[in-house]
Amino acid sequence: MQAMDIFLRTIAIFIEVVLLVAIAYSVLNGVRLTAFNLGIRPKYNKAVTMALLVVGIIVVIFFIAHLITFYPTI
């Protein structure tokens, strides 16, 4: 019975991480589009994209760490 609980918890965490990543992607893409709309020149596209990619990776690691640590047992 213990193995089934671990499996269900893993699936629940995976689904929640996927949903949170989709939300974070939408927010960070909105930040990128807003930055370029407010006057950042297109030549900085790669730098802005890389900076937001790093922020996105940090956010995803944060989500995963907290869900693994604090997700209740099923």
- What percentage of the chain exceeds 70 in pLDDT? 97
Say how far residue 68 (Cα) sits from the centre of its chain.
15
Dump pLDDT digits (tens) for 1-28. 588 888 999 999 999 999 999 999 999 9
Q: Where do the domains of the chain lie? A: 13-70
Which value, to the nearest 10 degrees, does the dihedral of the CA atoms of residues 14, 19, 25, 26 take? 180
For residue 56, give every residue at least 6 positions away whose Cβ sits within 8 Å of its Cβ, in sequence order, or none.
24, 25, 28
Q: Model confidence at 74, in pLDDT bands (50, 70, 90)? A: low
Question: What pLDDT, on a 0 to 100 scale, did the predictor assign at position 42?
Answer: 86
Q: Does residue 38 surpass a pLDDT of 60?
A: yes
Mean pLDDT, the chain, whole residue set: 92
Give me the helix-helix angle, 2-37 and 45-70, nearest 10°: 150
Helical residues (DSSP H) of the chain, grouped into ranges = 2-37, 45-70
